[in-house]
Structure 1
Amino acid sequence: MRRLPALKSIQCFEAASRLGSFAAAAEELLVTPSAVSHQIRALEREVGLPLFHRIHRSIVLTDAGRRYAEQVAEAFGIIEAATHSIDRTGKADILTIHSVPSFATQWLMPRLSRYSALHPDVDVRLNASVDRVDLAAGEADFAIRYGTVFPASGVEVIPFPEETIVVLCAPGLAGGEKPLRVPEDLRDHTLIFSEVNLVSWRDWLDRMGVRGIATDRGPRFDRSFMAISAAVDGIGVGLESRLLIQRELETGRLVLPFGMMGPRLVCHHLLFLRSKAHIPKIKAFREWLAAELAGAVM
């Protein structure tokens, strides 16, 4: 248990040391000078040292009192700054989501306005990084991870629905001089590589039973959102999760030359502390995310 003097005594001491007068401190705190004097004497008994020299009707801090006043003033400043910080953020709760960059950019960000419309009392903070986040330390409320997950103790892991890994390209490439109608047509096109993807071009071609297509040349990216952007620009043909390219398909910037042909697998997971599962903002986001994913073409 913390051993702290009474807050009222600390307030009286801080005001008196700052204003140099018990009377001035009493006026500021809306109490009587005798009440201020009583509180400071109680504080002096608590710390075991005199904090003021009483000289006739004036007061002067002792050396110990001066050092104590400096530290108390600093502590009051910290409290005041913290209070102002709360005022600036208003009454809104903050939901912090830490996500792998491509999912954050391609899928989550375009939908956050829907979540905010349903939950106007919650502000969303979205951090995008491949770095691991410590949920137990309060660094985030949720983590959205890609690939295999080994959760820490007390962390709940919910897998996303299976995603289809599809071939994609700009419409001008699919219907150009060398159209893409069957997977064998890929031999006439540049392949775009997402180096961290769970399914590589070689994996996809082997599953489709396609032989004779080189997979050792082509532009390479370590983030799916960059590979998707390269495909939109017509640089080549990409291989990505159908979930991540919904906007580009809806706007016609990308097409699926072979339709939904491709393997299906769980790519992403949602992580959160089991102990926080029933906190309203945690429960609401989980339910909203599940509904959004259920309505998405995977």
Structure 2
Amino acid sequence: MRLHSPSMSELHAFVTAARLGSFTQAAEALCVTQGAVSRAISRLEAHFGQPLMRRNAHGLTLTDTGRKLYDGAQEPLRAIETLSAGLRAQDRRLQLTLSSVPTLASAWLMPRLPDFHQRHPEIQLSFAPYRRDEDFSGATPDASTLGGGRDQWPGWQADYVIGREMVVICHPARLAARRSQGMWDTPVGLLGEPLLYHGNGVENWTQWFSAVGAPRERLKLASGFDQVSLLVRAVMADMGIAVLQRCLVRDDLLAGRVAAPFPGLQARIARGYHLCAPPQRRDHSALACFRTWLLDTAGADPDVAAARG
């Protein structure tokens, strides 16, 4: 039997370009080049022997034939994608690919993963590169730990894990010197110090001072850093003091590499680390096992347990 239908890749290119009104946006959505989209649509037009869309100053416009193809192909393509994703999920039910904020992964998650592997040796866990603007448009990851507020990801499954509990850290020698000078009896004394900050957490100092009831009129930030690891290193080099999620610096505190001037002050921010997954991954059995383990593990963390109590 002679087949009259074109290839799936050509149909995907055409439908995506028609839906977005742009070859460039279609290429980004399909993770291919703009040239690949253009060539696919050219092949499709050659297959049908007539133009399907035209470019103009306002984007793309469909011909009458193009409109018929677009209207008729959308739903079947969507159904095939849903079926394919389900079949792949069944095939990958014991494989799980994650991505994670690098600092959280190295400081908190990785030391705890041996426990997960011991409990679930049948699950093959791997990590994909972290993307701050993850949208799950690719085949991987299945889930990602992202930093932000829960309402930041409408439509996704977003479970708070850890990271709302903040602590001020400084060099141990700076703490000893300030205490010997009779300073830092209250958080107000910190306002005279160089306040270091993370580029994505500029508001953390303001929230910390508010949480501990200290005035913020003289709050003035010093140096900013785009990586938490660099910020912690700056504190170790005694460049100033910083406020960070306690889970990221607990090992440094225990080892004495940094010190906490006010360890007993409870300060929490609205942001935190969440395990995020798109709706199509909710029935992924390996992800369900990892999610249960991760939330149980985080729930046993001293800071999270204290906040819930």
Q: Distance in 2 between matches of 1:161 and 1:217?
A: 26
Paired residues of 1:161 and 1:266 also in contact (CA < 8 A): no
Unaligned residue ranges in structure 1 (runs of 5+): 4-90
Which residue does 1:256 correspond to in 2?
260
Deviation at 1:275, TM superposition (A): 4.0
Q: Which amino acid aligns with 1:284?
A: C
Which residue does 1:247 correspond to in 2?
251
SS at match of 2:302: coil
Q: Which one has the largest radius of gyration?
A: 1
> 5 Å matches for 1:200-239?
200-211=204-215, 214-239=218-243
Q: Distance in 2 between matches of 1:248 and 1:2?
A: 69
Q: Distance in 1 between matches of 2:197 and 2:109?
A: 23
> 5 Å matches for 1:41-80?
none
SS at match of 1:159: strand
Unaligned residue ranges in structure 2 (runs of 5+): 4-91, 304-309
Change (3 A) 1:211 1:136: closer
Change (3 A) 1:175 1:129: same
Provide the aligned C-alpha RMSD in A: 3.1
Deviation at 1:105, TM superposition (A): 2.7
Paired residues of 1:158 and 1:271 also in contact (CA < 8 A): yes
**Which stretches of structure 1, 4 residues or longer, exceed 6 Å deviation after superposition?**
none
Q: Which amino acid aligns with 1:141?
A: D
Change (3 A) 1:227 1:182: same
Paired residues of 1:92 and 1:121 also in contact (CA < 8 A): no
1:166-211: per-residue Cα shift (whole Å, max 9, x none)? 2112322211255544212214432211121174323333443434
Paired residues of 2:195 and 2:220 also in contact (CA < 8 A): no
SS at match of 1:197: coil
Paired residues of 2:163 and 2:245 also in contact (CA < 8 A): no
- Counting matched residue pairs gives 210
TM-score between both structures, scaled by the size of structure 1: 0.60
> Of residues 153, 160, 176 in structure 2, which corresponds to 1:151?
153
Q: Distance in 2 between matches of 1:290 and 1:230?
A: 32
> Of residues 175, 185, 189 in structure 2, which corresponds to 1:185?
189
Q: Which amino acid aligns with 2:108?
A: W
Which residue does 2:47 correspond to in 1?
none
Which residue does 2:138 correspond to in 1?
137
Deviation at 1:93, TM superposition (A): 4.7
Change (3 A) 1:123 1:180: farther
> 5 Å matches for 1:15-30?
none
